[in-house]
Amino acid sequence: MTQRPQQFPDYFELSEPRLSFNPYDDAAKDAHPLKGLIRWGPYSNSIYETVPQAIRLAAIVPQGEGNRLQGLVSQLSTRQRAQERRAYLPDFPGFLPVFKRSLAALDPVVELPAALDAAISSGPDPQRSLSEAVRSAIAQLRLRRADWDVILIYLPDRWQAGFMGGSNDDFDLHATIKATCAAQAIPTQVINDDSLTYRCRASVCWRLGIALYAKAGGVPWKMDPISPDTAFIGLSYALRTSGGVLRYVTCCSQIFDAEGVGLEFLAYDTSGIVKVVGKNPFLDRDQMRAVMSKSLGHYLDRHGGKMPARVVIHKNTEFKHLEIEGAFDALGHVPELELVSIQHSPWRAIRLLAPRVTGERNRPDNYPLKRGTLLTLGENELLLWTQGEASAVTGGESWFQEGKGLPRPLLLHRYAGHSDAQQIGSEVLALSKMDWNNDQLYNTLPATQSFAHDLAEVVKRIPKLDPRPYALRLFM
């Protein structure tokens, strides 16, 4: 065969999605989440009264260590200078200037028993000792539920033996705490030693401040809508152990509106119905219809019965034929339905710069492809780089969030729908900015999928799934 140079089809560079910080001011938009908060304040400040003027924090701490946690809260109330990622990370002005709310002093505070150190370091079952102590403290705070908005739980690194189970034990303390509290509608924030000692206090305060504001009921920012009247649904599965055998028995559905805000999270017990091919679970037609019908019904409840003009369903495995039929059974009255699988891919690419002088070869850039680079592979497949160079938010200065390496694109496969590649890619890119639990510009995955793993880890530890929606902030 005669080898000839191959040329890929043309690619696109999508613009960095903007975020909205005020529903009544069309100018209150910014592609940078932190700078947008500094300039405009949080989105919910202008319309909601769900966040109290002073957010009240309860605490669970090791005996005698309440002052360490109070010191962290005090830092949140003062200005902190950025010590890293200076191209992206601004100084933290203080909780009140950013969120227009203050933080009350820790009260009440429950101290864990002093004997817990010995039980964790040398006891026969450190995981059980620690989890039962924390569960007991949560029960004490629940008796004073009217006195606080969020619980801070300080778990020092010296207790690491109680955090995770062994190779044959699926125990996870963080997920267990979230499961215990989510079932009781209790928002929590776990604090570790890194939050107390990390050198860049601005980064810690940004990350913790955004999370506390959201967990107290606030909305830091929303997406600048790309597709009005669109509902996004993320589909995932949770594993439970039955008779020592892992089985897929729970389907998790996350529902987001056109502005990327999670309405709520729904979980359905699908025991005995989920099919497994290899390691991937799939629903049959009836179950998919039931899950989508409940998800749509919940969306309608939150929008006064108004039907969305378009529904986009994301999952991290392929859509089987029966799932596609079930989705159309439930959502057949929706004018447009998109089914898109989102998976990591093995692709790599580099950006080539034009020659500096005539006759010189193209040279590789020192930075990766731009975030938002989109390459179509066919009528129904495309590659999207949600990681990449992001000078659009740094005033033109080259910046790569991950710092090093060649980012892998996501492979998006459309199983139903008619939207073009740029619309599908732009929506995924925007949804990658809808995580209120960190100070980063983006996650690799969109919100419809980035929460899937954490939700599954929590859901499988809830003993009994009530037939009701759960607020996503309870799982953050």
Identify whether 108 is preceded by a cis peptide bond (ω within 30 of 0): yes
Question: What letters, b where the CB count within 10 A reaches 16 and e where it falls short, cover 275-313?
Answer: eeeeeebbbbbebbbbbbebbbebbeeeeeeeebebbbb
Strands 57-62 and 150-154: parallel
Please state the rounded mean pLDDT for residues 434-444: 93
Residues above pLDDT 90, as percent of the chain: 64
**pLDDT for the residue 9:** 64
Least confident of 278-292, 308-322, 359-373: 278-292
Helical H segments across 352-451, by residue range: 421-431, 447-450
Residue type, 214: A
Residue 473 in tokens: 């902030």
Residue with structure tokens 């040398």? 122
Please state the rounded mean pLDDT for residues 345-371: 86
| Closest CA relative to residue 33, chosen from 236, 213, 258 | 213
Q: Is 405 helix (H, G, I), strand (E, B) or coil?
A: coil
**Dist CA 274 CA 87 (whole Å):** 47
379-427 tens-digit pLDDT: 899 999 999 999 999 988 999 999 888 999 999 999 999 999 999 999 9
Please, what is the Cα angle at 364 between 361 and 365, to 5 degrees?
Answer: 130
Residue type, 272: G
Please state the rounded mean pLDDT for residues 98-122: 95
**pLDDT for the residue 455:** 77
Q: How many CB atoms lie within 10 A of CB 468?
A: 10
Q: Is the pLDDT reported for residue 63 higher than 80? A: yes
**Dist CA 183 CA 462 (whole Å):** 7
Q: How many CB atoms lie within 10 A of CB 417?
A: 17
Residue 393 in tokens: 């938010």
pLDDT category, 219, cuts 50, 70, 90? very high
Q: Is 344 helix (H, G, I), strand (E, B) or coil?
A: strand
**Dist CA 37 CA 147 (whole Å):** 28
Q: Is the pLDDT reported for residue 265 higher than 80? A: no
Of 109-123, 247-261, 288-302, 343-357, the range with the highest mean pLDDT is 109-123
70-96 tens-digit pLDDT: 999 999 999 999 999 999 999 999 999
In order of their start, the domains of the chain are: 49-215 (3.40.50.2300), 224-474 (3.30.420.10)
**pLDDT for the residue 183:** 83
**Dist CA 415 CA 341 (whole Å):** 8
**pLDDT for the residue 243:** 52
Integer-rounded Cα Rg, in Å, for the chain is 24
**pLDDT for the residue 8:** 59
Q: Residue 397: exposed, middle, or buried by beta-carbon count in 10 A (0-12, 13-18, 19+)?
A: exposed
Please state the rounded mean pLDDT for residues 95-111: 95
13-61 tens-digit pLDDT: 999 999 999 989 999 999 999 999 999 999 999 876 678 899 999 999 9
Please state the rounded mean pLDDT for residues 105-121: 95
**pLDDT for the residue 2:** 44
Q: Is the pLDDT reported for residue 326 higher than 60? A: yes
**Dist CA 353 CA 440 (whole Å):** 28
**pLDDT for the residue 357:** 82
Sequence-distant (6+) residues with CB within 8 A of 356 are 363
CB 440 within 8 A of CB 401: yes
**What pTM does this model have?**
0.91
132-169 tens-digit pLDDT: 999 999 999 999 999 999 999 999 999 999 998 877 77
**pLDDT for the residue 352:** 84
Helical H segments across 77-200, by residue range: 95-99, 116-122, 126-142, 173-182, 193-197
Q: Residue 418: exposed, middle, or buried by beta-carbon count in 10 A (0-12, 13-18, 19+)?
A: exposed
**Dist CA 288 CA 274 (whole Å):** 10
| Closest CA relative to residue 69, chosen from 174, 204, 177 | 204
Task: Please give the sequence-ordered ranges of beta strands (E in DSSP) within 11-112, or none if there are none.
Answer: 11-13, 19-20, 29-30, 54-55, 57-62, 102-103, 109-112
268-304 tens-digit pLDDT: 766 555 566 656 778 889 989 988 998 999 899 888 9
Q: Is the pLDDT reported for residue 176 higher than 80? A: yes
Sequence-distant (6+) residues with CB within 8 A of 452 are 234, 236, 252, 254, 316
Residue 194 in tokens: 């890194």
Of residues 302 and 200, more confidently modeled: 200
Residue 21 in tokens: 């910080």
Do you know the residue count of the chain? 476
Mean pLDDT of the chain: 89
Q: Residue 175: exposed, middle, or buried by beta-carbon count in 10 A (0-12, 13-18, 19+)?
A: buried
